[in-house]
């Protein structure tokens, strides 16, 4: 039995919610577009199929698509019978799918560097061991940052989270934000979660609520525009969101709508935290506004679950992410502790 198959069995016994796993030369993914009503698994045997799944958000979330990058290099090794040139070309394809996702870029580059340094015979087995290391590392990050973040949560808190930064966006424990929330809940703290629905893809409504229900964590779904008023009513004590990318100065790139919540948090004196891992910090990006934000197809705004909600000819705009400036962030939760201002100095401890 392969090392990844062994790990998959172990993870399922631990009741992890795996977004992606590898067995017998194929990559399996849960179709996150069809959740929560349909739990459909796709089995992929080519890098082009996996790249398409990342691009159309069948698999999504910074941690999960980082792992997909590792599996993609393994899949390429199998598909192209260990040909290093083809494996490198597969890496370029994978990185092109979500250009703002630094975790994907870093993981693919790391895997390709390992491939470049390989001198043995069985390159597929070698790459499989590397992929296993990447996934175990990601899982450990989630559990560690969950412990640090849970210390910020008080018994009785109601926590707002945005989009989906959970198990299916990571290695299966809780991703970033939901690792904090899950750990706080499992430690015995009586908490409640407000999850904003997150237009236009509704990840908060479809996936965050789905995971919170699986874990038995009390939660309430709200629309994105409700958060400010609920803060003013003192119904929210903390905000914990995930991160798609953290700049060297602590600016946060996260799902569109995050900045709006952070502004409301400042006005209402509600602590705003982001949960991340060292792999999502881009030390080459001096500030968040220098990043090129991915603009997705306008059809994703004018339609909802395949049904048009605006007349033909209506134009729409969909930047996938926005930038929350570091001065609005009370702390950056990482696997090495909670980093505080000045972030240009504290984030170097995570490097």
E strand or H helix at 41, and its extent? strand 41-44
- Smallest CA-to-CA distance from 75 within 40, 43, 99 is with 43
Looking up tokens 């424990």, which residue turns up? 173
- Clarify whether 133 is annotated catalytic: no
Q: Residue 190 is encoded by which pair of tokens?
A: 């009586």
- Smallest CA-to-CA distance from 163 within 240, 238, 101 is with 240
Q: Are 83 and 53 in contact (CB under 8 A)?
A: no
Q: Is the dihedral of CA 49, 302, 315, 99 positive or negative?
A: negative
Strands (E) located in 62-181:
158-161
Q: Number of helices and strands (H, E) in the chain?
A: 13, 16
Distance CA 299, CA 306 (A): 9
Q: Residue 129 is encoded by which pair of tokens?
A: 């061991």
Q: Are 62 and 280 in contact (CB under 8 A)?
A: yes
3-state secondary structure of 27: strand
Please state at what angle helix 123-150 crosses helix 62-79, rounded to 10 degrees. 170
CA distances from 251 to 63, 243, 330 (A): 19, 10, 12
Distance CA 177, CA 185 (A): 13
Q: Which of 45, 56, 155, 244 is catalytic?
A: 244
Distance CA 294, CA 319 (A): 6
What is the 3-state composition of the chain as percent helix, strand, coil, each rounded to the nearest 5?
Answer: 45, 15, 40
Catalytic residues: 244
């Amino acid at each position: 039995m392969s090392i990844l198959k062994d790990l998959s069995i172990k993870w399922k016994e631990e009741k992890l919610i795996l977004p992606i796993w590898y067995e017998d030369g194929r990559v399996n993914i849960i179709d996150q577009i069809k959740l929560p009503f349909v739990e459909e698994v796709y089995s992929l045997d080519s890098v082009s199929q996996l790249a398409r799944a990342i691009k159309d958000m069948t698999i999504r979330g910074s941690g999960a698509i980082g792992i997909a990058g590792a599996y993609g290099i393994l899949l390429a090794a199998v598909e192209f019978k260990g040909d290093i040139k083809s494996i490198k070309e597969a890496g370029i394809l994978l990185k092109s799918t979500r250009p703002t996702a630094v975790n994907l870029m870093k993981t693919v580059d790391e895997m390709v560097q390992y491939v470049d340094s390989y001198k043995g015979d069985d390159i597929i087995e070698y790459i499989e061991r590397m992929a296993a290391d990447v996934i175990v590392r990601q899982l450990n990050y989630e559990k560690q940052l969950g412990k640090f973040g849970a210390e910020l949560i008080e018994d009785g808190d109601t926590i707002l989270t945005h989009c989906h930064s959970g198990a299916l966006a990571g290695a299966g424990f809780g991703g970033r934000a939901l690792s904090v929330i899950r750990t706080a809940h499992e430690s015995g703290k009586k908490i409640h979660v407000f999850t904003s629905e997150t237009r236009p893809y509704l990840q908060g409504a479809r996936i965050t609520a789905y995971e919170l229900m699986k874990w038995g964590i009390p939660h309430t779904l709200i629309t994105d525009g409700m958060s400010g008023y609920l803060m003013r009513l003192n119904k929210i004590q903390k905000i914990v969101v995930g991160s798609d990318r953290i700049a060297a100065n602590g600016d946060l790139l996260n799902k569109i709508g995050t900045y709006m919540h952070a502004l409301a948090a400042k006005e209402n004196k509600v602590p705003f935290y982001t949960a991340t891992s060292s792999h999502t910090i881009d030390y080459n990006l001096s500030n968040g506004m220098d990043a090129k934000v991915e603009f997705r197809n306008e059809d994703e705004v004018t339609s909802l679950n395949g049904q048009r909600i605006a007349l033909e000819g209506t134009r729409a705009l969909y930047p996938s992410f926005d930038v929350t400036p570091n001065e609005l962030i009370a702390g950056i939760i990482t696997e090495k502790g909670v980093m505080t201002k000045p972030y240009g100095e504290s984030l170097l401890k995570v490097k």
